[in-house]
Amino acid sequence: MEIRTYAPQKKQGLVVVITGNGKGKTSSAMGMVLRAAGHGMKSAVIQFMKGDLYSGEWDGVKYLGGLVALTATGKGFCGIEGNPYSHAEHRKNAQDAIALAFQTMDTADLNLLVLDEINNALHLNLVDLSQVEAILERRPEHLHLILTGRDAHPHIISQADTASEIHEIKHAYRLGIEPQPGIDF
């Protein structure tokens, strides 16, 4: 069987929002990063809330031959029991991530940018709606932009070309099963 390839007549960057209370938002975004790498496209991932607990994608992207840069800027999930950092510390890290997002869009030769957990950061007032709107407005036309995390703002969803909500039906954690490497982190 012959495998065909497809090329759109007009290439344009898309804004994709992945939200909801189910598992798999970051995993979906990382799947698009993997798919983009398969096309030889360059990607960057900026993680707004992650950074205090190792996650496999940090080293996994190294196997994609330099096509992906990943930066974890966070100090964990703000407001989650056991997280020792203040709202002000989380906000500072999220503001650093916003600055990095602008710098990355302005200076990097990218095809895809993932702002992982930015929806959570907005919901928790770690970043402002005006900042996320500014990212959308300043996004180069060719750049695919993926915004992940729970509680996506309705205005951001309305600006997206594609929006998906991941709904939890069942989760192993609720069954008393600990998070598992390669699946949960």
User: What is the average per-residue pLDDT within 150-158?
Assistant: 98
Is residue 92's pLDDT more than 80? Answer: yes
Q: In what order do the strands lie in the sheet with 162-165?
A: 68-72, 43-47, 112-116, 144-148, 15-19, 162-165
Q: How many Å apart are CA 17 and CA 57, to the nearest integer?
A: 20
User: What is the average per-residue pLDDT within 120-135?
Assistant: 97
Entry pTM: 0.94
- Looking at residue 75, its pLDDT comes to 82
Q: What are the boundaries of each domain within the chain?
A: 15-166
Average pLDDT, the chain: 94
In percent, the amount of the chain with pLDDT more than 90 equals: 83
Work out the pLDDT band at 113, boundaries 50, 70, 90: very high
| Residues 106-115: b if buried by 16+ CB within 10 A, e if exposed | eeeebbbbbb
Work out the pLDDT band at 32, boundaries 50, 70, 90: very high
Q: What is the dihedral of CA 47, 63, 173, 76, to 10 degrees?
A: -20
DSSP H/E element including 58:
helix 57-60
What DSSP character marks residue 174? G
Residue in 46, 105, 32, 40 with CA at minimum distance from that of residue 67: 40
User: What is the average per-residue pLDDT within 90-105?
Assistant: 96
Q: How many Å apart are CA 42 and CA 55, to the nearest integer?
A: 21
User: What is the average per-residue pLDDT within 156-172?
Assistant: 97
Is residue 163's pLDDT more than 90? Answer: yes
- CATH annotation of 15-166: 3.40.50.300
In percent, the amount of the chain with pLDDT more than 70 equals: 100
Count H helices, E strands: the chain?
6, 6
